[in-house]
Amino acid sequence: MKKKNLNIINFKKKDEYSYRRKVIIKDLIFNTFIGLHDFEKNKKQNIKFNIEINTNNKLQPNEQDLNSIINYEDVINKIETITNKKHYLLLETLAEVIFSNLFENKNIISIKLKIEKPEIIKNTSSVGIEVVKKRK
């Protein structure tokens, strides 16, 4: 029996990547009414926001379609609108309103939000909260 030579075809392996994309906003400051105390109800104070937004890893940037990204400018405008809307007694309440608004975008998977009052308590650079919320 004659032995046949087999031609082996080598398929080029496709590169596969795993993405984890974040939108980061650091040290965003708005002047707003917030707090429980009477003096906080009569005078605006600076509130500092730091936010990290994890996006859908299947979201591919497309320069022709800004809906293909989480636009940090939109996020900043939403936070500004929320902080100007009314007096919030608690940072926690403000955080939940921000979460509700931002999670309307289905491409947002999780949000880490830090809100600080940098000028309210002597002998500190700031006080505040940090909350992480993830979509189920």
Share of the chain above pLDDT 70, in %: 91
Report how far residue 2's alpha carbon sits from residue 116's, in angstroms, rounded to the nearest whole number: 81
pLDDT at 1 over 70: no
Domains of the chain (ranges; CATH) run: 22-134 (3.30.1130.10)
Does pLDDT of 69 surpass 90? no
Burial 8-31 (b: 16+ CB within 10 A, else e): eeeeeeeeeeeeebebebeebebe
**pLDDT (tens digit per residue) in 5-37:** 767 777 776 667 777 889 999 999 999 999 999
How close are the terminal C-alpha atoms of the chain, in Å? 64
Element (DSSP H or E) covering residue 11: none
| The pLDDT of residue 2 | 63
Q: Which 8-state DSSP code applies to residue 34?
A: B
d(CA 23, CA 20): 10
pLDDT of residue 16: 74
Residue 83 three-state SS: helix
pLDDT bracket for residue 4 (50, 70, 90): low
